[in-house]
Amino acid sequence: MKRHFLILAVLIYILLPFTVKGQDYYAANLNPETNGRVSTIFLMPNVYPGVILDGDTVACMWLTDFIKYSPLTFRSTKEKAAYSKLIRDVKKTLPYAKEIARIITETYEYMETLPDDKARQKHLNKMEKYLMDEYTPKMKKMTKSQGQLLMKLVDRETNSSSYHIIDAFMGSFKAWTYNVFAGLFGNSLKVRYNPYGDDRATERVCVFVEQGAV
């Protein structure tokens, strides 16, 4: 009898964590300080708001749009290799394009709070130096095609060409100067992104990268 009781106790001890895991580890129904109800759900590594329905904690999640493409058919190994290279280049340059877009947005919003043109110009000069120091070493590691792709992806993220961005923030002369300098390496700051035309394959890869599919 004692042996059967010991086996039962061990089974309960082993199975108990699995039966309560949903509440103890993933749903925080009680505030440990006030012992009151809270609506927070921990689905590691994320935390979601939640509601309690009939005693059960239900997570509230917002799902982003999911775009599905038809499978590609390659006509040659060369075409397949070019697509593989495009995936590699997008994965390398897209994070930079998104980071640059974030910096542009933050810079614009901050400049709106500055009192006059002198303060704004001082901040722009500071930002220009920071960008040069931060990104020049990274840009030097890119190939010519990756540099061209980066400028297109900046347009994708900001809906503005690199030339227009420089012109808006730093003036026409600097935009012209930087464009001439880029032209020495076969690039153009005025290049635009066309997801429905020449850049259809690039847009496809960008979507896949953003969705974590490649």
The DSSP annotation for 48-107 comes to EEEEEETTEEEE---PPP----PPP--SSHHHHHHHHHHHHHHHHHHHHHHHHHHHHHHH
Band (93; pLDDT cuts 50, 70, 90): very high
Other C-beta atoms lying within 10 Å of the C-beta of residue 150: 24
- What are the domain boundaries of the chain? 2-59, 77-210
Q: Is the pLDDT of residue 130 over 70?
A: yes
The CA-CA-CA angle for residues 66, 68, 70, to 5°, reads: 175
Q: Is the pLDDT of residue 108 over 70?
A: yes
pTM: 0.65
pLDDT at 86 over 80: yes
Whether residue 69 is predicted with pLDDT greater than 90 in this model: the reply is no
